[in-house]
Structure 1
Amino acid sequence: MAESKESSRKREKTMLDQEPSCSNLISQFDDFFIDDSKKVGEKRGRVKADANVDKLPKEIRPPSQWFSVYNARKPMKQRYHYNLNDEILLQHFEKGISDKLRISCVSCCSNLWAIIMDAETDYTDQICKLSPLFLPKKWILEQWNKNFFITSFAGSETRNSLLVMSKGVMYTQQSYKVSRSFPYIWINKKWKEDFHVTSMGTAGNRWCIVMSRNAGFSDQVVELDFLYPSEVIQRRLDEGYMITATAASLAQSAVILSIPSNKPGDENETQETLVTPKFPSAHVKEKWPKNLYLSHLCNGPTVC
């Protein structure tokens, strides 16, 4: 029998006015909810999750160590500072510049900066920038136009960066690349264009490689490992290479070894490496009387 339009509208209205039986629907998805609430509109799991927030383990930084490289130099004045926040870092930089020192190396550990300043550099001018970017491209382009070149930089775990650019270097052109993994293919391509790696740094697990033309190297190799490759480095040193850049992420470490175009005399060929759990302040002072000066520094994963 056909249903009248009026009775159809009454039945439709009755169905719409009824409260839906959500509890029956929810019961079919019990396995997907993390709390026992069955009330419509309640944020399932919110109360239970909030109650346990303070009990969750805090993020723990993997154990790390300092990898430092020392070069034989003529007697000179060297100064180091570490565990620096942004404000103190800039104060030490300005004080060093007024004392005719220049930054030769920077690094970062647990979001605190370390800087090495030397009296004997070829830099005629130097600028330093702290940035929330890794790296500040616009600022770099502006400084390149003023004949400044990147000479050292480092990144923090929060992806902030400390960038040092200098005048007086022999570089004629620079290029850099930021990557989520070590950009070996890009480096190999740039080698064929007469560029060489002159600086490296990381921010968390991001890598940045700076390559320069007219860097003064006749050959260059990269040693990349999850731990510091001490045996490999020693073999390269025996072959006449010198460590010219170091960097490490939370998982990997990289060392650049180069052969200088004009090989220095025996007096300046000495190079030593050291791995320490803390910043090597005591070791730096011990090596100064031997005319060995800290030249490269990075903080990376601990050897297990």
Structure 2
Amino acid sequence: MQQFSKGSCKGDEGHRDENQSNAPPIPEQVQIDDSPVYRIERKLGKGGFGQVAIKFEHKDSKGCEGGIPNEWKVYDDLGEGHGIPLPLVHYKGQQGDYYVMVMDLLGPSLQAPLVNNVPTLPLEAVACIAIEAISILEKLHSRGYIHGDIKPGNFLLGPPGTREEKTLFLTDLGLATRWQDPSTGSHVKYNQTPGNFRGTILFASVHSQLGRTSTRRNDLESLVYMLIYLIRGHLPWQGHQGEDTSFPVCKQKRATPPDTLCDTCPEPYLQFTTFVLSLKFDEEPNYARYISLFRGIIGQNPYVWPVHTDVTQEVPWKQVQLKDDDEPSKKIQKLTRWISVYDVHPPMKQRCELAFQIYLVFLGFLEFIDDLPLSCRYCSNLDYVDLIFHIEKGHAEGMHITSVTYSFRSKSWALIMDDSARYTAQNYAFSCGSLHKEWIEKQWSENFYITAVAGADDNRFLVVMSKGTWNIQQSCCVFEIFPFKWIKKKWAEGLYVTAIATSGSQWAVVSTKGTRFTDQAIELDFQYPAEGIRERLKQGYHITSVAANLDEVAFIFSIPGGAATASVEQEMLQTSNFPNDSEIKEKWARNYYISSLCCG
């Protein structure tokens, strides 16, 4: 005689791939090994009460690349007695095309009140949720994992009518990843892969949406958004419509300061938000301090707390009060107008075989400088006529373009030329709307390769092609969005990015074979990515290209190969206008010269 039990099913809808639309139907009943036979009565979250929850994950889903669901691996790794309030798993196995996990059926999620037309939750309730959620995340993080999809729907209360009905549980470990190497205990290495985002757009951290390596701060940032959502009933970026809302949502998150996000919320929420948004990539969160912020909101009587929490008894308020010098900065680092990158060059005595001339054309006048160890010509605030004049003049004097960019703010060009690039010849051409394919292909046939590209706000591009490079093959294209997938494809073919530019919202990218680079990485952000730059430089990368538009800035980082280029010293400068005379001279005095610049 078969034993039957009731079950509620949960399909992996939040993480399902588009190609699973034709997946076979979920079985009507389930039996895993020696488990009871479970009949599927309803879909989880639609009301009613059952004895267990059954989660189905299709074998072709993204979470099953390694053969079994990622969630299974996390549960197996955590083992028994992990001390984290997660639903208890009774059985795991495969039935047909689905991986099946049978676990405790819990009570309503934190999303349920808002779905059931309760506009907001009481402040005391949200404070209790904050305390318990921070405690749960601390326990999970202490085991080396981050959750990766913190949102109201993944926090559930215990079954109604039981002693656990006020206990908060964390569910769905399908996107959980390690922030800590289990063998060494060291923090995972920083990386960014734009476009590689999985999660819930509304609550995801900015770093997750930008494709950066997930760390503990990501879970806490998502928790910030969840708490604000529970208090206010909405988030500022919920109004975006269309097929792809990830870009505008991420952009608005990045641009929303803590005091705006926490408007009308009690001060502890602003403090918590400010602390969390200030966390560095590998910084250990101060969970006890965060918990202490909410202690004053929930009061002293634990019997009226809507969510059971005993963590406040473990962290006395007086032990973690904030000091004046502990207050985090509330400033958001916005993208400044000009970014210039400076490479160090050997002093003149090591380059005595070359004759250099120095000119500085700044804001329309020419200045000769004779007492500097290396020479370049800097020209800014140029219209098209002036730009062509200075290019031709420089070419006539044996100088070549090494960098050129356009300022959308001043509607003018900036030009850098010198005679240190060792080019033997150089040509350039303007094109409208796209890169001039026929002209570029003709130059390629004559062994000229693209060494610089720039775009203006009138849809025109300037392409500079030089002879005498190490290049042997190139590919270039113009895209409506930043083309990380295209760049990855070119990397696989042995071509590295050597030039990028913007024209309005368009991105022009040039990839080259024969660069002597051994690896390359990208930093893409809505603001100046100071932390990402520091992490990349620590990893041995240096900046080889930079471009920006009014929304985004992209840095291309490369690792050079060969003894001659194995070590590169760089500095960066952010200015509201083109670097002035004193700023340039200060860099020159220390043998640093502009290698890349952009204005956004």
Place the TM-score, normalised by the shorter chain, in its bin.
Answer: 0.7 to 0.9
Contact 2:376–2:418 (8 Å) recurs in 1: yes
Give distance in 2, aligned partners of 1:285 and 1:119.
Answer: 18
Residue number in structure 2 paired with 1:73: 345
Distance in 2 between the 1:281 and 1:128 partners? 27
Q: Structure 2 CA distance, aligned partners of 1:235 and 1:63?
A: 18
The residue correspondences of 1:21-36 to structure 2 (distance < 5 A) are: none
The separation in 1 between residues aligned to 2:568 and 2:494, in whole angstroms, is: 24
Question: How does 1:6-155 map onto structure 2 within 5 Å?
Answer: 65-74=337-346, 75-110=373-408, 111-155=411-455
Corresponding residue number in structure 1 for 2:591: 291
Q: CA–CA distance in 2 between the matches of 1:265 and 1:220?
A: 15
Quick check: 2:335–2:526 contact (8 Å CA) kept in 1? no
- Partner Cα distance (1:154, 1:100) in 2: 22
User: Per-residue CA shift, 1:217-252, capped at 9, x if unaligned?
Assistant: 001001111111011101111111110000112211
Mapped contact 1:134–1:155 kept (Cα < 8 A): no
Distance 1:182 1:99 in 2: 37
Larger RCO (alpha carbons 8 Å, 6+ apart): 1
Q: CA deviation at 1:64?
A: 5.4
Query: 2-side partners of 1:188 and 1:77: how far apart?
Result: 36
Change over 3 Å in CA distance of 1:180–1:165 after alignment to 2: same
Which shifted more, 188-197 or 137-146?
137-146
Q: Distance in 2 between matches of 1:138 and 1:92?
A: 26
TM-score (norm 2): 0.39
Which whole-Å CA distance do the structure 2 matches of 1:63 and 1:273 have between them? 13
AA aligned opposite 1:158: D
> For residue 570 of structure 2, what is the amino acid of its counterpart?
Q
Cα shift readout 1:117-171 (whole Å, capped 9, x = no counterpart): 1121121100122233431112111111111110001001111111111000101
Task: Give per-residue Cα distances to partners, 1:36-64, cap 9 Å, x unaligned.
Answer: xxxxxxxxxxxxxxxxxxxxxxxxxx995
Counterpart check, 1:198 vs 2:470: no
Aligned to 2:580: 281
* Alpha-carbon distance in structure 2 between the residues aligned to 1:239 and 1:154: 29
CA distance in 2, matches of 1:70, 1:263: 21
Shift of 1:214: 1.1
**Percent sequence identity over matched residues?**
43
- The 3-state SS of whatever aligns with 2:464 is strand
**What's the offset of the Cα at 1:263?**
4.9
> Which residue identity is paired with 2:467?
K
| Change over 3 Å in CA distance of 1:274–1:136 after alignment to 2 | same
Structure 1: gaps of 5 or more residues: 1-61
Distance in structure 2 (CA, Å) of the matches to 1:98 and 1:76: 19
2:177 corresponds in structure 1 to none
Q: Name the structure 2 match of 1:215.
A: 515
The letter for the 2-side match of 1:196 is Y
What amino acid does structure 2 have at the position aligned with 1:252?
E
Distance across 1 between alignment mates of 2:453 and 2:522: 19
Q: Which amino acid aligns with 1:107?
A: T
What's the Cα RMSD here?
A: 1.7
2: CA distance, partners of 1:281 / 1:169: 31
Q: Is the 8 A contact 2:343 2:570 kept in 1?
A: yes
Alpha-carbon distance in structure 1 between the residues aligned to 2:466 and 2:599? 24
1:271 matched to 2:570? The reply is yes
CA distance in 2, matches of 1:120, 1:297: 17
Find the aligned partners of 2:449 and 2:377 in 1 and give their Cα distance: 22
Aligned letter for 2:571? E
1:103-124, CA deviations, whole angstroms, 9 ceiling, x for partnerless residues?
1001001331111011211211
SS at match of 2:577: coil
Distance in structure 1 (CA, Å) of the matches to 2:513 and 2:543: 18
CA distance in 2, matches of 1:265, 1:181: 32
Contact kept, 8 Å, 2:435 with 2:477, in 1: the verdict is no
What is the letter of the counterpart of residue 385 of structure 2? E
CA positional deviation for 1:203? 0.3
SS at 1:151 equivalent = strand
- Aligned equivalents of 1:162, 1:85: Cα separation in 2: 13
Q: Distance in 2 between matches of 1:98 and 1:200?
A: 27
Between the aligned partners of 2:568 and 2:465, the Cα distance in structure 1 is 26
Structure 1 stretches of at least 4 aligned residues deviating more than 4 Å after TM superposition = 263-266
Q: After the TM superposition, which of the residue ranges 127-136 and 255-264 deviates more from structure 2?
A: 127-136
Q: Determine if contact 2:336/2:574 at 8 Å carries over to the other structure.
A: no
Q: CA deviation at 1:289?
A: 1.4
Give the distance between the partners of 1:180 and 1:132, measured in 2 at CA. 15
The answer to whether residue 465 in structure 2 is matched with residue 165 in structure 1 is yes
Determine the structure 2 residue equivalent to 1:177. 477
2:536 to 224, 236, 241: 236
Q: 2-side partners of 1:84 and 1:206: how far apart? A: 22
**What one-letter code is carried by the residue in structure 1 that aligns with 2:405?**
S
Give the CA deviation at 1:209: 0.7
Structure with higher strand content = 1
Paired residues of 1:86 and 1:130 also in contact (CA < 8 A)? no
Please state whether the residue corresponding to 1:77 is helix, strand or coil. Answer: coil
Taking the aligned partners of 2:336 and 2:431, their CA distance within structure 1 comes to: 24
Residue 71 and residue 63 in structure 1: after superposition, are their counterparts in 2 closer, same or farther (change >3 A)?
A: closer
Instruction: Label 1:265 to 1:124 Cα distance change in 2 as closer, same or farther (>3 A).
Output: closer
> Quick check: 2:335–2:528 contact (8 Å CA) kept in 1?
no
Shift of 1:205: 0.2
Q: CA deviation at 1:174?
A: 0.2
The residue aligned with 1:6 is none
Q: The residue matched to 2:543 in structure 1 has which SS?
A: strand
What one-letter code is carried by the residue in structure 2 that aligns with 1:171? N
> Which stretch shows the higher mean deviation, 123-132 or 206-215?
123-132
The answer to whether the 8 Å contact 1:246/1:256 transfers is: yes
Q: 1:256 aligns with which of 545, 552, 556?
A: 556
